[in-house]
Amino acid sequence: MPDRNEQSDPSVAPPVRSTAEAKSRFGRILWTSTGTVFLAIGAVGVVLPLLPTTPFLLLAAFCYARGSRRFHRWLMESRTLGAYLRDYQENRAMAPRAKLVTISFLWAMILVAALLFVDEAWIQLLLVLVAAGVTVHIVTLRSSRRSVRSEEPRLSV
């Protein structure tokens, strides 16, 4: 049993609560299925500018952590998304190159949608305002020092 002094000592950090996998088989299947849906929505969000990618990927990671250690590990160690997700989750940061690519792609898709597919001026304005808001969010994130490419394993000869 912990000593009272240990519990009240402000210099001692409280233990980190680990994400526990669901106990029932049904719960694990439900969490894993939900995570897969969020992953799919996040993947669609890569090409649809108004559908945010990051929140859905974070939700997928959250669901996988409760439904399947294997799926969670696969997502967090993924070559394409792993470093990005870890950086955002742990540091609320993005690599400068990822910021540039994300913002460039966002504006390219918004402008294409606004100019070629939307006739109403108020909808075009709304698209531009949403893109401006997302741009502000991305720019205000901290820049991480590591790049996604630096996370790739190197072959030694």
Domain positions in the chain? 20-77, 93-157
Q: Give the start-end residues of each E strand in the chain.
A: 93-94, 142-143
3-class SS at 93?
Answer: strand
Query: Quick one: DSSP state of residue 41?
Result: H
Q: Are 66 and 23 in contact (CB under 8 A)?
A: no
Q: Of 7-11, 26-30, 47-51, where does mean pLDDT reach its minimum? A: 7-11
pLDDT in tens, 117-132: 899 999 999 999 988 9
pLDDT in tens, 60-93: 999 999 999 999 999 999 988 888 888 888 888 8
Query: Quick one: DSSP state of residue 117?
Result: I
User: Rounded CA gap, 107 and 143, in Å?
Assistant: 20
Backbone φ and ψ for 20, nearest 5 degrees, come out as -90, 140
Q: Which uninterrupted H or E stretch holds 54?
A: helix 54-67
Residue where the block lists tokens 């070629």: 116
* Distance of alpha carbon 131 from the chain centroid: 18
Task: Please tell me whether the overall predicted TM-score, pTM, comes out greater than 0.85 for this model.
Answer: no
Q: What is the pLDDT of residue 146?
A: 60
